[in-house]
Chain A
Amino acid sequence: MSKIDDFDGYTPTWCPGCGDWGIGIAIKSALIKSNLTPSKAMIIFGIGCSGNMNDFLNAYAMHSLHGRSLPNAIGAKIAQHSATVLVIVGDGDCYGEGGNHFIHACRGNHDMTVVVHDNGVYGLTTGQVAPTADKGYKSKSTPSGIIEVPINPLALAISQGATFVAQGFAGDINHATTLIQRAMEHKGFSLVNILQPCVTFNKVNTYQYYLSRVYKLGEDHSPTDKRAALEKAMEAEIEKFPLGVLYQKSRPVFTDSIPQLASTTLLQKSRFTRIDELLADFV
């Protein structure tokens, strides 16, 4: 079995107290609990403080462009669909710049786990507002407060076809570890949105803010009930944040619906050489 050290890359450059530390440990712990090694996982990182984990976490990885991790992950998964694919991104990255990709990746039920660091700000570029920030949030780019209402990533994912939708909190590493591990076990498009304070730039959504507003979903919540899941997701509007698996459903994944990938991966399959069969189309 692999050890945490196997995944350790460079020492992280995150600010002391940043929620990324907790999420970083949760991801590594989940990888180990899932019996993976750095050679067995393909991890696609976005651009941002979260994406900088590329240098702190060993794996076959792409450090993508801002917003483009999901299509990279979709292509990598199609090439080697037997590999575990993890996507590590931020809220601006995944819901802002890459918002269109997010919607369509949900629709495709691409089998991958997407861990979103949701802190309401663009930390790496010194704290401008992110699409998850509350209406009225004041930042350097919105000095009078943001006019738009926040995106609701959980409701969006549930309504667009994601088959595993969960929310964690960077202040509860063990719980976040379990969610990421369950997301990787789930066959399908899995979103784990992790609420995370940005201690440097976000003075509103602090640890204290979240601690008084998060709660764990109980036994009474049925993740297969889509309507109930959507209702839980909508609680963000009254600043209540359910933690746990809101929604889970079984649906064929993208690569399972491609007949040519039924017996082998795209990379391993033998080369097609019967060119004559195609020439009939041109006679």
Chain B
Amino acid sequence: MKYTWKIGGEAGFGILTTGTLFARFVAQLGYHVFDYIEYPSLIRGGHNAYEIVFSDKKVRAFKSTVDCLICLNKETFDLHKHRLTKDSVVIYDPKDFTPDKGSVLCGVPFREILQKLQGQSVMKNTIAMGASLAVLGADLSLFISMLEKQFGAKGQKVVDINKTFAAEGYEYARKQFQNKTVSLIKTELSTQLVMTGNDAFSLASIIADCRFYSAYPMTPSSTVLTTLAGWQEKTGIVVRHAEDEISVINSALGASFGGVRASVGTSGGGFSLMVESLSFAGVAELPIVVFLAQRQGPATGLPTWTSQGDLLFAVHAGHGEFMKIILAPGDVEEMLELTTKAYNLSDIYQTPVIVLSDMLLSEAHETVSKQFVDDLNACYKLDRGKTVDKPTHLPYVRYKPESDGISERLLPGADGSYYQANSYEHKADSHTTESAEDTLEQVGKRHQKIQTYLANHFDPPTVYGDLDKSEAVLVSHGSNKRIILETIQELEKEGRSVTYIHFTHLYPLDEKKIKPLFENVKRYILVEQDLNAQFGKLLRMETGVHIAEQILRFDGRPITVEQIIAHINEKKAMSGVVEKLQKLQ
């Protein structure tokens, strides 16, 4: 079973809240959930839609059809009717419009109910939600208890209003609409948590004992700032909403110098402001984790749409040459794992670690079992590398050359010692230098850390499938993972075999561990959410592996299963939006 529920209406009328509530509702019943929000960068006005797909099996991507479409206005129907089948249910207000397409129609007089109960127009959502629960044959009482939790803090009155409207919608639809399509009942599955990639980054930061987070709001990273800010008093983390992204990263570097784990979050524009300071972290060897949630640029670009177009920018971010590590999770579970690892790596290698996300990963909800989080938390070993609060040798030498490139890092405050975190090139004792000899020593020391990392902490890509048996091999990173794995499942139904090579440790790359995966005579196909096949370029630059065939998309919309299958079937070198671009030329 795989079911798509979608609600749409005018922005600013609670679509997001309603959608999140529905996602948590089905997750409580034990279903796996995946969702996607379409919204323009406006507080009010414009079209908002929230799509949720749920299944009794792991679900990672959408399907082409919508099973239940809730239209809070006519525009919703017009924009999404092409995805309806004859069995799809359309919930709408007959006073607004009459659907012109043959589906199962469920008219609910939203406005009449609003007038009768003297509600504000934002309550339309709640009526519609109630109606859809009736259509789905769900139990209203569980939903009511969720409303109590959701709105409890706002007082009993708000809870009661929501209950009344939900019940009204539910009853109306139940009477009108007895032939329910599915029966949403509790499954046998264990408790599922519903979270976005941003939620996962926030949670993993606390698991990893991050004590300072700083940010300036920027879509699609902002909910990390608000989530962690909300957890301050409970967890003790200090969250600073600074005046700009330059202050964001520099206050985090100050906190890191002061000895606590620190991180920052932003999107491309804010990251642009941070890069000089990233270079400071590199030379002064200050640990820092940077959460970079990509949206489509350049400049202000498409603020609320997805992209992977900042990959090479992240790789090259910062002037001068210094070590940085880039990790790219592909789903919520990987976000939890890799974020906790990122904090360890930044302490061990005393250098910036970038956790690369994108709008789709950052903002879409996904289910993850509570057991997974519990296990991760129980098994996580906090590793601060060579960080000490007392020097092991006196006099203390901050940047002492070592064979692994990593010097002991003393936390400021230890009596009898002192040193500088110096943005200038420096001697081993941290004093500024311009000597060629000192420079070579320190440049070499820092560079050695890359070899140490590749030997000890670099993870080669994960191969999903059997390279020898498959007709094609898809190569990608980030949230494309979910879409690609779904594609593979679809093709398996036809008895076809396609493999996926999924990269998470994007930079630096280890040629020795990667090259053997590309030695088969196969169709290798890059799948990327950018114009220039940036990961392909990175792979070629770091390993010499060249992949000619590419599926690229750069219009802000996520790559789809259908798009990938069409490409594989049609056997052409380029597909996706690239074709459209070529036609224009």
Contacts and interface: CB of A to CB of B under 8 A. Distances in A.
Nearest to B412: A60
A51 to B, nearest CB: 9
Contact of B418 (A47, A58, A267, A269): A58
A39 B389 CA distance: 12
Contacts of B199: 281-282
A58 B419 CA distance: 7
Given A39-B416, A59-B418, A261-B238, A79 B254 contact: yes
Contacts of A70: 247
Interface stretch (B111-119, B228-236, B501-509): B228-236
Interface centre among B191, B251, B370, B419, by most chain A C-beta atoms within 10 angstroms, is: B251
Contacts, number: 192
Contacts of A267: 211, 258-260, 411, 413
B78 interface: no
A14 to B, nearest CB: 14
Contact of A75 (B27, B231, B255): B255
Contacts of A52: 432
B227 to A, nearest CB: 8
A261 B232 CA distance: 11
A258 interface: yes
A275 B284 CA distance: 33
B196 to A, nearest CB: 9
Interface stretch (A61-69, A146-154, A224-232): A61-69
B417 interface: yes
Interface stretch (B86-94, B174-182, B201-209, B295-303): B201-209
Nearest to B365: A282
B445 interface: no
A44 B418 CA distance: 13
A279 B195 CA distance: 10
B258 A278 contact: no
A44 B254 CA distance: 9
A80 B259 CA distance: 8
Contacts of B206: 272, 275, 278
Contact of A65 (B234, B423, B431): B423
A9 B227 CA distance: 45
A271 B227 CA distance: 19
A278 B370 CA distance: 12
A283 to B, nearest CB: 6
A266 B260 contact: yes
Interface residues of B, number: 68
A177 B212 CA distance: 34
A79 B415 contact: no
B234 A277 contact: yes
Contact of B419 (A60, A73, A80, A258): A60
A47 B423 contact: yes
A79 B422 contact: no
B235 A272 contact: yes
Interface in B228-272: 231-238, 240, 242-244, 246-260, 262
B194 interface: yes
B150 to A, nearest CB: 11
B36 interface: no
B260 A104 contact: no
Interface in A232-283: 258-261, 266-267, 269, 271-272, 275, 277-279, 281-283
Nearest to A9: B431
B28 interface: yes
A68 B275 CA distance: 13
Nearest to B254: A75
A71 interface: yes
B276 interface: yes
B142 interface: no
B432 A55 contact: yes
Contact of B421 (A37, A61, A101, A279): A61
Nearest to B207: A275
A100 interface: yes
Contacts of B227: 281
Contacts of B411: 267
A104 B199 CA distance: 29
Interface string A99-126: 0110110000000000000000000000
A266 B227 CA distance: 19
A63 B421 contact: yes
A62 B284 contact: yes
B418 A39 contact: yes
A83 B414 CA distance: 12
A70 B203 CA distance: 29
A78 B214 CA distance: 12
A75 B259 contact: no
B151 interface: no
Interface string B51-85: 00000000000000000000000000000000000
Contacts of A9: 431
B97 interface: no
Given A62-B420, A267-B258, A275-B206, A259 B233 contact: yes
Contact of B254 (A62, A63, A104, A281): A62
A64 B252 CA distance: 13
Interface string B388-430: 0000000000000000000000011111111111111000000
A12 interface: no
Contact of A283 (B28, B414, B416): B28
Contact of A101 (B243, B276, B370, B373): B243
B255 A78 contact: yes
A258 B254 contact: no
Contacts of B203: 275, 278-279, 282
Contacts of B250: 64-65, 68, 71-72, 75, 101
A38 interface: yes
B376 to A, nearest CB: 9
Contacts of B317: none
Given A65-B276, A72-B250, A283-B28, A79 B242 contact: no
Contacts of A77: 254, 258
Interface string A127-167: 00000000000000000000000000000000000000000
A10 B431 contact: yes
B280 interface: yes
B484 interface: no
B317 to A, nearest CB: 15
B164 interface: no
A139 B180 CA distance: 81
Interface of B: 24, 27-28, 191, 193-195, 199, 203, 206-207, 209, 211-212, 214, 227, 231-238, 240, 242-244, 246-260, 262, 276-277, 280, 284, 370, 373, 377, 382, 411-424, 431-432
22 contacts: A39-B413, A54-B420, A55-B432, A60-B419, A63-B422, A65-B280, A71-B250, A71-B251, A72-B257, A74-B240, A75-B253, A75-B258, A78-B238, A78-B251, A79-B212, A100-B244, A104-B247, A267-B211, A269-B211, A279-B373, A281-B227, A283-B193
Interface of A: 9-10, 37-39, 42, 44, 47, 52, 54-55, 58-65, 68, 70-80, 83, 100-101, 103-104, 258-261, 266-267, 269, 271-272, 275, 277-279, 281-283
Leading 3 A-B pairs by shortest Cβ distance: A75-B254, A79-B258, A71-B250
Given A63-B432, A282-B193, 4 more contacts: A71-B250, A75-B255, A266-B255, A282-B199
